[in-house]
Amino acid sequence: MSNSSVDVSVFQPLRIGPLTLRNRFIKAATNEGAARNGIPTGQSLRLHERIAAGGAGMTTLAYCAVSADGRTLPDQVVLDRNSLPHLRALTQAVHREGAAAAAQITHGGCFTFLPPSGSALPLSASGGFNKVGIMSGMLCKQAMTEADLAQVSGEFVQGARLAREAGFDAVELHMGHGYLLSQFISPLYNKRRDGYGGSLENRMRFPLRVLRQVLDAVGNELAVVCKYSVTDGVRGGNQAEDGAAIARLFEAEGAHLLVLSAGMNVESITTMFGSSFPKENRVSTGKPVIDAVVALKSLLEPQVRFRELYLLEHSRKVRAAVRMPLAYLGGVKSLESIEHLMAQGFDAVALGRVLLAEPDYVNKLRSGACRDSICTACNRCVAMMYTPGGTSCVLGEPGDAQLNAVGAASL
């Protein structure tokens, strides 16, 4: 196949805020299982280095908690001084390959399997019964006070500043999937009766406050990206029309790029991944709580068959609502789909499972070596993040358990 058949527009540079990407391909953040004691491991460095060498314009380090209490699981990156040299080693490796590096910064709120250190209950938009806590024993959550809001927004700012110091080119504020900022945005979680609850505009007040403070702190030097759920994917939650209205608020506040995701970790994970987690595609993680959650979800979730571009109908509504740069995410695994997205007016293509299966997929497209990814959307990479080697595709080599036991700076 000649590379003359490739739509060259996807290989053109893209400007997002102060950052120019070499092309329109972004490695989406996918939890990696590649952090130990709050620092990224050598396996994490190698993963992002390979993706950068494989041609992506930017690669995103997933789930960097803005505080120790912001983690959902023990082995996640914490943005603090201890992690700084290891984060810097990772960004330097990515930069040597010519790509940009983004840090996804976030806080889990009540979506956590860890008891909070500073209080008896995990924080959330509203208090009361905690659905996630059924599996962790934390059956209640507490509504954030004004002091809590100030504390956490300050932690996002400090996290963004540390990401800048570590050499990242962008920060991605995770505002989807049922994590803390999403808990404010979604009516599934936000039952407040004050100025932070009720209408969509009120529910957006705290997330927009975080965005504004991060923009003020680093927006002249780093691209500030927002990833959010265009639809919660369940009755009673935000629908795509709400997702379009949310995008308009992000645009008005000055976000540089939106990554359009969907679904919630607890209520609608098939909306997020576009397909079910069949029993034959599950792996044992060795962690009984996680295995139980995966098994229970498989029983309760409706069976959904994968189809390419499964979020396109929702994302089109956002594209029609705003003029700002948008990255489409959801079921992209062929050149035909990529070209269709560019023709639809999306500015970038975010790839998750595909780049786990083939880190060099972008280079293969550019050279004309292939059109379609080998990824089958089996979702086993999701469970693989709990194995000793961290996230990997079952069609290739597993992650290196030895590399995954040492800090990135040791390489």
Q: Where do runs of H (alpha helix) occur along 173-287?
A: 180-185, 200-203, 205-218, 240-253, 269-273
DSSP string, 151-169: HHHHHHHHHHHHHHHTT-S
Which helix H or strand E contains 300, and what residues bound it? Answer: helix 288-300
Query: In angstroms, how far is CA 376 from the centroid of its own chain?
Result: 20
400 within 8 A of 46, measured Cβ to Cβ: yes
Amino acid at 117: S
Query: Which residues, 6+ apart, have CB-to-CB distance to 126 below 8 Å?
Result: 141, 143, 183, 189, 190, 191, 192, 197
Specify the residue for token string 């070209």: 339
Distance CA(101)–CA(91), nearest Å, equals: 6
**Can you name the residues that pair with 35 across neighbouring β-strands?**
40
356, two tokens: 């786990």
Classified as helix, coil or strand, 106 is strand
The answer to whether 266 and 131 have CB atoms below 8 angstroms apart is yes
199: helix, coil or strand? coil
Tokens of 127: 């208090």
Which token pair is 102? 């983004």
Candidate list 63, 179, 361, 386, residue with the active-site label? 179
361 given a catalytic annotation: no
Number of CB atoms found within 10 A of residue 358's CB: 24
Q: Alpha-carbon dihedral of residues 381, 385, 387, 390, nearest 10 degrees? A: 100
What is the separation of C-alpha 334 from the centre of its chain, rounded to a whole number of angstroms?
21
Instruction: Measure the CA angle with vertex 60, ends 94 and 401; round to 5°.
Output: 75
Which residues are identified as catalytic? Answer: 179
